Amino acid sequence: MTDIPKSHPRYASLMARERIADGVRNGITSAQGMIAQGRGETFDYILGERTMRSADRATLAAAAALLLAERPALSVNGNVAALVPAEMVELASLLNAPLEVNLFHRSEDRVRKIADLLRSHGARMVLGESPDCRVPGLEHSRALATRGGIYDADVVLIPLEDGDRCEALVRMGKTVIAIDLNPLSRTSMKASISIVDNIMRAVPNLIGKIRSLSGSPREDLQAILRDYSNRNTLSDALLEMQEYITARMRELDTAGRSAG
């Protein structure tokens, strides 16, 4: 791993790149995963690399949905495994939920490496190595699922997911929680709850909210979900991005005027 000084202004983003690059070298992340990371970084840049208010609200709703779930399940792909393996294991253990490896570009070797990585971080329930059913309406290996995991779950967390699979899981009647920096992706548009935030900020934030909400009466959690609108949250995310860009434009204007 390249040595990046902590003082570097783009430290967090450069570290994430290093993790993805390591993931590719270790056979955890696909080459296409690097492109997905780049697409995510672009959106992170224009939303100011911080958790927007709208994303924080979506994360609160996601925490409520996961706490109310009878059978929650968490999906893990090569980018998620490279970026937040320990955090995903912590989340699974808090919720007593299975982690299920699901890859768009599936190879048995990569599935096993990701499962081993999660187990090395202490995961107790890792599925995906022996799929026994399929998500209806999806072609090829990404349809593969496991009973007792995502297939039977009522609430599913799908970080950095493809729009098609998101839509197919929604069609199965599940509450689908996405983490995706692009508020315009099909995934964000189709999910029940879309957290428009970097997974490296979103998962720790989600863990914090689950901890603080656990023990709340079910009616309070239900009220959080009742008040939540994904449409409004996505349009607020776009507004917050617009505000951020407008503020940067004003800075340029001011700098231009003072430079004469």
Asked if residue 180 binds Mg ion (CB under 5 A), the reply is no
The smaller minimum CB distance to Mg ion, of residues 17 and 39, is found at: 39
Among ligand ATP, Mg ion, none, what binds residue 51 when CB lies within 5 to 8 Å by partner kind?
Answer: none
Q: How far, in Å, are 42, 67, 74, 77, 182 from residue 206 at the CA level?
A: 23, 11, 13, 18, 18
User: Judging by beta carbons within 10 Å of its beta carbon (0-12, 13-18, 19+), is residue 139 exposed, middle or buried?
Assistant: exposed
Partner whose footprint covers residue 167, from ligand ATP, Mg ion, none (CB < 5 to 8 Å by kind): none
What stretches of the chain show up as alpha helix (H) in DSSP?
11-25, 31-46, 53-68, 78-83, 85-95, 108-120, 163-171, 186-190, 199-213, 218-226, 230-258
Residues that bind ligand ATP (CB under 6 A): 36-37, 39-40, 43, 83, 160, 162-163, 179-182, 185-187, 198-199
Q: Name the closest residue to ligand ATP (Cβ).
A: 40
Q: Which is nearer to ligand ATP, 160 or 241 (CB)?
A: 160
Q: Which amino acid is at 167?
A: E
Residues in 132-171 that interact with Mg ion by CB under 5 A: 162
Cα 37 versus chain centre, distance: 12
Kindly state the smallest distance separating residue 32's Cβ from ligand ATP, in Å.
Answer: 7
Write down the least CB distance from residue 39 to Mg ion, Å: 9
Q: What residues does 74 pair with on adjacent strands?
A: 99, 157
Least distance to ligand ATP from the beta carbon of 208, Å? 17
Residue 187 contact, options Mg ion, ligand ATP, none, Cβ 5-8 Å cut-off depending on partner type = ligand ATP
Considering the complex, what minimum distance in angstroms separates the CB of residue 257 from ligand ATP? 35
Q: Which does 105 bind (CB under 5 to 8 A by kind): ligand ATP, Mg ion, none?
A: none
Of 58, 65, 61, whose CA–CA distance to 154 is shortest? 65
C-alpha dihedral, 36 to 75 to 52 to 191, nearest 10°: 90
Cα–Cα separations (whole angstroms), residue 247 to 42, 48, 181 = 18, 11, 20
- Which residue's CB is nearer to Mg ion, number 13 or number 188? 188
177 beta partners: 157, 193
Residue 198's binding partner out of ligand ATP, Mg ion, none, with CB under 5 to 8 Å set by partner kind: ligand ATP
Partner interacting with residue 160 (select from ligand ATP, Mg ion, none; CB below 5-8 Å by kind): ligand ATP
3-class SS of residue 161: coil
Cβ proximity to ligand ATP: between 125 and 170 the closer is 170
Token match 């937040």: residue? Answer: 84
CB of 205 to ligand ATP, least distance (A): 12
Beta bridge partners of 76: 101
Shortest CB 162 distance to Mg ion, Å: 4
- Pick 39 or 121: Cβ nearer ligand ATP: 39
Task: Report the chain's C-alpha Rg in angstroms.
Answer: 19
Binding site for Mg ion (CB under 5 A): 162
